[in-house]
């Protein structure tokens, strides 16, 4: 029987596969399959297939006749485009009829770029050309160039405050409870090459001394989502940053009195800062340095002198400490001068700090022995003041000068018939050393929480000691945020130099972290085997689209590689299956 099927066109490019027949002298057709809307390319493909079926002698294309011309990354870029759209970030940037590429689109491209393949903004142009973002965003690739990117960095930074306000409102609306306790911290980065007005010489936390150090601030909610960030000019010390920023946040976000609880690191604690926060009706939770602990009323620091690794659990139980977990015992010291204190004892820290100090003293004494050997072989006479200063300087650098002391005893050395005046080092322990060791031992394993949360009106409720410990420990949310920004998003070294571009770069990095923490939190909530954003990106990276063509006819098609089961699982987890559905793919010119 001769096959006579054909494509019947309905309205608006909708098609059906039908078989014609005659009935009662009239032409009719039987519907074999309804296709729906088809592109001209799909119509051509189906008609070619029908031609082959109708004429078996027609030669079908062989594998070697198909040319794989090019490919572009699709799935990872489309996935992050989906996450960006969930946050409605594009709405923050104004539209311009004069632009063929909008500021929002550049911000989106650069954010996705920093998530997937962080590098310089010059490299971003080449990276974009190897993705399907031109199809996803309906942008002509020729319109993405270095000049446009650097021009748009200014426009992106102009919207920083609007972005912060949008994120604050969105987070509050989605999960008001997550905005009750927020975390503030600082980190640093550096520049290579050109001068930037935002930098100054200084010691960085991870990269030693840098001539062009830059200091970054970040404010996140209790789930790690960022909603305020800045680059600090005229930075002098961590402790000096919190006053201006806390005043700025109060105005910008219209925090009510006691509405949020601000958690920050001990490095920013000073009486002046705490007083400022109290005057501005902030509720705070922070910790104090070890050297501040003995001065707090009710601590009674001398009670810790008998502690050692064998009796510590028995002793702290007698003192009234309560167990929080295996490495945390606490004692509520009550309220002193309007501030509430909770003393924490950590057994593991106690053993570690005690051992570290013993090792420090051992290394210091070993150094004195080595220096003694060098002095005993001196070939030139030594000056007592110069020798003493040199030794003291090294002991100070080793941070052992409080625990170790010495005398210098004259030593005469005969060397080739001449007398060399040198010294013998006599290690000694004096009352001052012994008191320093005793003083240090008293605070081994201790840290101290300080807060002005004393009653229900301070932050909505009076937090228990357990709540305070949990909140302060949970500040690793912001430490992880900085780790993400610096490690995976690759903020350093900065590759832009104009002040506004530098600020925009940090804004892009924070938005990239927003994408990452969104993914991280969903993975955590779902409790799946995939634990990191990098694993998600790796799974999706192979989801490419490719251009296939036939040698003989030149017909071509843009086709999505078959979506693998693991990729499907990721898309399902984030409810983003729409990016691989036929209707959406057809809308951006991709076959599946």
**Chain segment 417-431, per-residue pLDDT in tens:** 789 899 999 999 899
CA atoms lying within 13 Å on the CB side of residue 420: 17
Please report the pLDDT score of residue 489 as a whole number.
Answer: 46
pLDDT at 168 over 80: yes
The angle that helices 242-253 and 271-279 make with each other, rounded to 10 degrees, is 20
Please report the pLDDT score of residue 354 as a whole number.
Answer: 95
pLDDT at 319 over 80: yes
Pick 529 or 1 by higher pLDDT.
529
Please report the pLDDT score of residue 441 as a whole number.
Answer: 94
* Gap between the terminal Cα atoms of the chain: 32
Residues 359-388, mean pLDDT to the nearest whole number:
94
What is the SS3 assignment for 114? helix
In the sheet where 556-560 sits, what is the strand order? 66-73, 544-550, 556-560
pLDDT at 239 over 80: no
Please report the pLDDT score of residue 48 as a whole number.
Answer: 72
pLDDT at 1 over 50: no
Cα angle: 513, vertex 515, 520; to 5 degrees: 90
| Confidence tier at 495 by pLDDT (50, 70, 90) | low
Is-contact 408 387, C-beta < 8 A? yes
Cα–Cα distance between 212 and 199 in angstroms, integer?
5
486 contact partners, CB below 8 Å, separation of at least 6: 187, 189, 206, 492
**Chain segment 208-222, per-residue pLDDT in tens:** 555 567 788 899 999
**Phi, psi torsion values for 174, nearest 5 degrees:** -75, -40
Q: In angstroms, how far is CA 578 from the centroid of its own chain?
A: 28
Please report the pLDDT score of residue 202 as a whole number.
Answer: 57
Please report the pLDDT score of residue 260 as a whole number.
Answer: 92
| Confidence tier at 491 by pLDDT (50, 70, 90) | low
pLDDT at 490 over 60: no
Please report the pLDDT score of residue 494 as a whole number.
Answer: 47
Q: What's the chain's length in residues?
A: 592
**Chain segment 55-65, per-residue pLDDT in tens:** 655 555 665 66
| Confidence tier at 551 by pLDDT (50, 70, 90) | low
Its pTM surpasses 0.85: no
| Confidence tier at 591 by pLDDT (50, 70, 90) | confident
**Phi, psi torsion values for 119, nearest 5 degrees:** -165, -165
**Chain segment 259-301, per-residue pLDDT in tens:** 999 999 888 888 899 999 999 999 999 999 888 999 998 899 9
CA atoms lying within 13 Å on the CB side of residue 508: 36
Pick from 324, 536, 563, 273: which is nearest to 447 by CA? 324
What is the SS3 assignment for 37? strand
Pick from 137, 182, 149: which is nearest to 164 by CA? 182
pLDDT at 177 over 80: yes
- Which two structure tokens, joined as six digits, stand for 419? 């007398």
- Which two structure tokens, joined as six digits, stand for 62? 């062989």
Pick from 118, 102, 91, 105: which is nearest to 516 by CA? 118
């Amino acid at each position: 029987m001769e096959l006579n099927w054909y494509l019947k066109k309905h309205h608006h490019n909708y098609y059906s596969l039908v078989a014609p027949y005659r009935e009662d002298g009239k032409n009719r057709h039987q519907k074999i399959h309804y296709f729906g809307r088809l592109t001209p390319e799909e119509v051509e493909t189906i008609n070619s297939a029908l031609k082959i079926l109708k004429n078996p002698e027609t030669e079908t294309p062989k594998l070697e006749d198909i040319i794989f011309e090019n490919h572009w990354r699709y799935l990872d870029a489309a996935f992050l485009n989906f996450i960006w759209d969930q946050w409605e970030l594009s709405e923050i940037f104004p539209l311009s009829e004069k632009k063929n590429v909008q500021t929002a689109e550049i911000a989106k491209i650069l954010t996705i770029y920093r998530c997937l393949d962080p590098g310089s903004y010059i490299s971003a142009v080449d990276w974009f050309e190897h993705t399907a973002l031109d199809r996803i965003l309906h942008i002509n690739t020729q319109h993405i160039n270095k000049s446009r990117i650097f021009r748009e960095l200014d426009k992106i930074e102009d919207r920083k405050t609007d972005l912060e306000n949008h994120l604050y409102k969105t987070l509050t609306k989605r999960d008001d409870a997550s905005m009750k306790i927020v975390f503030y911290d600082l980190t640093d980065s550096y520049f290579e090459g050109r001068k930037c007005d935002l930098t100054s010489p200084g010691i960085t936390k991870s990269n030693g001394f840098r001539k062009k150090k830059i200091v970054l601030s970040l404010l996140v909610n209790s789930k790690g989502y960022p909603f305020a960030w800045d680059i600090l000019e005229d930075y002098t010390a961590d402790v000096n940053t919190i006053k201006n920023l806390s005043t700025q946040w109060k105005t910008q976000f219209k925090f009510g009195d006691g509405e949020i609880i601000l958690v920050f690191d001990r490095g920013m604690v000073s009486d002046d800062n705490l007083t400022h926060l109290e005057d501005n009706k902030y509720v705070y939770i922070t910790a104090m340095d070890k050297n501040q602990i003995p001065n707090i009323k009710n601590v009674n620091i001398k009670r810790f002198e008998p502690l050692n690794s064998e009796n510590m659990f028995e002793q702290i139980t007698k003192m009234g400490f309560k167990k929080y977990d295996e490495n945390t015992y606490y004692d509520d010291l009550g309220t002193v001068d309007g501030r509430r204190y909770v003393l924490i004892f950590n057994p593991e820290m106690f053993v570690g700090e005690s051992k570290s100090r013993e090792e420090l003293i051992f290394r210091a004494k070993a150094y004195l022995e080595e220096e003694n050997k060098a002095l005993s072989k001196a070939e030139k006479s030594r000056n007592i003041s110069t020798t003493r200063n040199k030794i003291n300087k090294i002991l100070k650098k080793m941070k052992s000068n409080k625990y170790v002391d010495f005398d210098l005893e004259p030593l005469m050395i005969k060397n080739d018939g001449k007398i060399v005046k040198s010294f013998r080092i006599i290690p000694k322990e004096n009352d001052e050393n012994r008191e320093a060791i005793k003083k240090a031992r008293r605070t081994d394993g201790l840290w101290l929480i300080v807060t002005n949360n004393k009653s229900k009106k301070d932050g909505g409720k009076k937090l228990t000691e357990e709540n305070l410990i949990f909140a302060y420990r949970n500040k690793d949310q912001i430490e992880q945020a900085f780790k993400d920004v610096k490690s995976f998003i690759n903020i350093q070294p900065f590759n832009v130099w104009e002040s506004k571009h530098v600020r925009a770069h940090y804004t892009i990095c924070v938005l990239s972290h927003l994408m990452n923490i969104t993914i991280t939190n969903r993975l955590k909530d779902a409790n799946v085997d995939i634990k990191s954003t990098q694993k998600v990106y790796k799974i999706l990276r192979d989801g490419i689209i490719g251009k296939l063509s036939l040698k003989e006819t030149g017909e071509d098609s843009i086709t999505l590689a078959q979506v693998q089961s693991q990729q499907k699982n990721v898309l399902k987890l984030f409810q983003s299956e729409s990016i691989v559905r036929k209707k959406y793919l057809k809308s951006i010119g991709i076959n599946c």
